Amino acid sequence: SDSYKLVSKKWKVRPTSIDLGDGVTIESGKFAIMTGPCSIEGEDQICQTIDHLKENGVKIMRGGVYKPRSSPYSFRGLGIEGLKQWHDAAKEAGIKIITEVMQVSQIEEMHDYVDIFQVGARNTQNFNLLDELGKVDKAVMIKRGISGSIDELLYSAEYVFSGGNEKLILCERGIRTYETASRNTMDLNAIPILKEKTHLPVVADPSHGIGIRHHVEAIALASIMAGADGVIYESHHVPERAYSDGQQTLNFQESKDLIRKMTEVYNLR
Ligand code: PEP
Ligand code: MN
């Protein structure tokens, strides 16, 4: 049949645990927090962010070095040199790295500096990229496509899983609808539906999901009650000066408050 199967609960009942080493896991029954800037901007920002993560017990840092930007004139990331600089600092601090890979040719050069390869919403159905990530011995987080259905996300996961890479995480990051009051429409429905259909961990991205800084907290907490195994959100020491997505990025005080509230809400579940 041409349906997905390996990622479904019909194939494997037990939840899949993603082991990143050093005791860091992403799995059902635990709660993973990933935060950091939209874009990696340089040494000062990297160090300030790592300090923020360490102070709050966060083990996974997000950040883009290859950025998919709507306009080619927007900042498009520091590339591999930025990733190497980030990796040096993160490794020293015992922090894991999640960052977006945009094309097949980047997989090899990025490989040794990455803990989780992120597939962005614009690449959810880049089947060549998914095929190649199926051969990689690193975790992969696939974001839901901008106008993608839940089933299409699961089919994308099936590409990677059937290629031999079972270290997969799914991410709901909002979809495009007719609504213009928010950047995207965060599909909270997708979280319990995905959790029912698949054994893979499901995380939420409230930053891209709503796109409005002072509403990120509400959507993050709602995602947890909806059953998310983790949350990935954008933070920066000075969001107003961020090179990208500052409008949806928390400052470190807001991030600290959110981490506390997320832990409380997770414990209610
Ligand atoms: C990002 O995480 O910064 C990003 C570009 O996300 P998405 O692919 O969901 O738009
Ligand atoms: Mn972003």
DSSP 8-state assignment for residue 28? T
The beta-carbon contacts of 12-18 under 8 Å, at least 24 apart in sequence, are 12/199, 13/199, 14/199, 15/199, 15/201, 16/166, 16/168, 16/199, 16/200, 16/201, 17/201, 18/116, 18/139, 18/167, 18/168, 18/169, 18/201
Kindly list the distances between the CA atom of residue 64 and the CA atoms of 83, 92, 151, 261, in Å, as whole numbers in the listed order: 9, 19, 26, 26
Query: What CATH number is given for 18-67+75-268 in this structure?
Result: 3.20.20.70
Instruction: Please tell me if the CB atom of residue 175 comes closer than 6 angstroms to any atom of ligand 1.
Output: no
Residue 2 has a pLDDT of 84
Q: Mean pLDDT in runs of 10 for the chain (269 residues)?
A: 92 97 97 98 98 98 98 97 98 98 98 98 98 98 98 98 98 98 98 98 98 98 98 99 98 98 97
Where would I find the H helices in 144-251? 150-162, 190-197, 206-210, 213-225
- The response to whether residue 208 sits with its C-beta less than 6 Å from ligand 1 reads yes
Q: Bridge partners of 142?
A: 119, 170
pLDDT at residue 212, rounded to an integer:
98
pLDDT of residue 108: 98
Q: Is the torsion defined by CA of 208, 213, 218, 220 positive or negative?
A: positive
Contact 160, 133 (CB under 8 A): yes
Question: In angstroms, what is the span from residue 67 Cα to ligand 2's centroid?
Answer: 8
**Both ends of the chain: CA-CA distance in Å?**
37
Structure-block tokens of residue 268:
């209610």
Residue 118 CA to ligand 2 centre (angstroms): 12
The finding on whether 121 has its CB within 6 A of some atom of ligand 1 is yes
- Using CA atoms, how far apart are residues 5 and 9, in angstroms rounded to an integer? 8
Euclidean distance between CA atoms 212 and 172, whole angstroms: 16
2 Cα–ligand 2 center, Å: 34
Q: Whose CA is nearest to atom 4 of ligand 1?
A: 120
